[in-house]
Amino acid sequence: MLFRAINLKLFVLVLAGLTIALPVTADNFEGIVPPPKAKASEINGCVAPVEDMRKNHMEKMLHQRDKTLREGVRTKQHSIAECVNCHITPKKDGSYANFGENEHFCSSCHNYAAVSIDCFECHRDKPEKLDYKHSQIKNTNPHHNDIAFSEKNTQTTETLDTIKSGDSK
Amino acid sequence: MNTKNELNNQARRNFIGKIAGVTGLALAPGFVLHQVANAKAPEDAVTNKVRWGILINTNKCATGCNDCVSACEKENAWGSASDNESHSAKEQKAQWIRKVTLTDKQTGYVNSLPLMCQHCETAPCVDVCPTGASMKREDGIVLVDKHICIGCRYCMMACPYKARSFIHEELKNQSVNAPRGLGTVESCTMCVHRIDNDGTPACVEACSSAMTFGDLNDASSKISIELKQNGGEQIRADLGLNTGVRYQGI
């Protein structure tokens, strides 16, 4: 009986330890705890599920722009700079498309739908850091599969490899 | 039996050891958080508990030195740090901060100082704006909300310091820190993107000898102590605007 009680205590201790430890230990204790989600993990979409983003991305950005400019709230989830950082697709030569070109993530849809936007009159339309890479996991994001495996894709071979093999980080 | 127990014990010890290590690691970032407890979290809105200001000691500001201006140009991608505005006349081009040289006609004393948006408490540009685009944040930084700026330029007329400029042509390759574009008015933002990340404005960083940045509401901040000891004047103090940028030696 005593032994059981000790075991139970130990179990609770271990459970508590695991709960506290989950976010920070994946690198050092591989196998014990699952790895942390990579930046812009596509398991749940970057910001919200894809359907939600397709329909409501403008609302989220409109809300965020006022919060950022007027209140100094600088969370990254709905920030336009982060949209650009994550969604921009490198061309074959490794350079990034400007807004207006069909290769640009925003203009590919907006050109097709003939909906003009005024974001990039002022905002930067490509990442400032040229080596910016985000997590691109195969199978979980329909968008990435489309661009990765369509004949018309203009991604670098390096990026395609990343998409095919998943994020190595 | 004994051997088995020992083995079990060893396994248990190893496991507990790992958990202890894990828990220690989990706590470690907490301490780091404590050290920057005064910093604003990204999701927090700014409050009027702070009022940001800059103090400029013109006695230490060298005539001909342009470091603050070039730092601003580089940070916010205007002027010589951008290849835009090639069609605009010199007096039309953006000027977030500029060096002004004053000569006393009687004594010949030359005073050199940087002049930019003075971040007034009662800002005339905010008063006259018909859309609410010209606005003052809770922490005293005066900004243009270019999302709703219609480019009427009333604020440029109202500003006693000639601190604002208007963009006359399409721009490309802006800085990610400073969105700016055709048909809107702009001015010094006190590098608000840096301040929100606990940074210092680019001009102050480039010239720490003559410029001090800090919280005017905090009596123990470097800028407040310096102002209390040696004073600091406003340009056009007669207008009663209570500027956030103060000068010594003018």
Tens of pLDDT, residue by residue over A141-168, are 445 545 444 555 555 555 555 555 554 4
Residues B222 and B151 in one domain: yes
Does residue B46 form part of some domain?
no
Q: d(Cα B193, Cα B83) in Å, to the nearest integer? A: 23
Residues B22 and B63 in one domain: no
- Find chain B residues with C-beta within 8 A of A70's C-beta: 135, 137, 145
What is the pLDDT at residue A159? Answer: 58
- B195: domain range? 52-248
CB B124 within 8 A of CB B159: yes
Instruction: Report how far apart the first and last C-alpha atoms of chain A are (Å, whole number).
Output: 46
- Least Cα separation, residue B68 to chain A (angstroms): 23
Does residue B194 form part of some domain?
yes
Which of B18, B29, B146 is the closest to A29 by Cβ?
A: B18
- Find chain A residues with C-beta within 8 A of B29's C-beta: 24
User: Which amino acid appears at position A104 of this protein?
Assistant: H
Interface test with B, best of A124, A125, A128 (most B CBs within 10 A): A124
Does residue B43 form part of some domain?
no
pLDDT at B13 over 50: yes
Cβ atoms < 10 Å from Cβ of B27:
12
Does residue B44 form part of some domain?
no
Does residue B45 form part of some domain?
no
What's the pLDDT tens digit per position in B99-127?
999 999 999 999 999 999 999 999 999 99
How confident is residue A108, by pLDDT bands cut at 50, 70 and 90? confident
Residues B79 and B168 in one domain: yes
Does residue B147 form part of some domain?
yes
How confident is residue B187, by pLDDT bands cut at 50, 70 and 90? very high
Residues B185 and B236 in one domain: yes
What is the pLDDT at residue A166? Answer: 52
Q: What is the CA radius of gyration of chain B?
A: 25
Is B22 close to A17, i.e. CB distance below 8 A? Answer: yes
Q: d(Cα B151, Cα B171) in Å, to the nearest integer? A: 15
A117 at the B interface (CB within 8 A)?
Answer: no
Q: d(Cα B97, Cα B163) in Å, to the nearest integer? A: 7
- Least Cα separation, residue A14 to chain B (angstroms): 7
User: Which residues on neighbouring strands pair with residue A167, listed in sequence order?
Assistant: none
Residues B140 and B22 in one domain: no
What's the number of domains chain B is made of?
Answer: 2
Higher-pLDDT residue of A4, B223:
B223
Higher-pLDDT residue of A13, B167:
B167
Is B173 close to A124, i.e. CB distance below 8 A? Answer: yes
Q: Residue window 132-161, chain A: list those with CB within 8 Å of chain B.
A: none
- Find chain B residues with C-beta within 8 A of A83's C-beta: none
ipTM above 0.85, yes or no: no
Interface test with B, best of A62, A67, A69 (most B CBs within 10 A): A69
Residues B19 and B79 in one domain: no
User: Which residues on neighbouring strands pair with residue B166, listed in sequence order?
Assistant: B185
Does residue B57 form part of some domain?
yes
B125 at the A interface (CB within 8 A)?
Answer: no
Residues B198 and B87 in one domain: yes
Query: What is the pLDDT of chain B when averaged over all its residues?
Result: 88
- Least Cα separation, residue A101 to chain B (angstroms): 14
Does residue B29 form part of some domain?
yes
- Find chain B residues with C-beta within 8 A of A130's C-beta: none
The enclosing H or E element of A92 equals none
A122 at the B interface (CB within 8 A)?
Answer: yes
Residues B162 and B66 in one domain: yes
Percent of chain A scoring above 70 in pLDDT: 46
pLDDT at B47 over 90: yes
Residues B58 and B22 in one domain: no
CATH number at residue B119: 3.30.70.20
What's the pLDDT tens digit per position in B192-222?
999 999 999 999 999 999 999 999 999 999 9
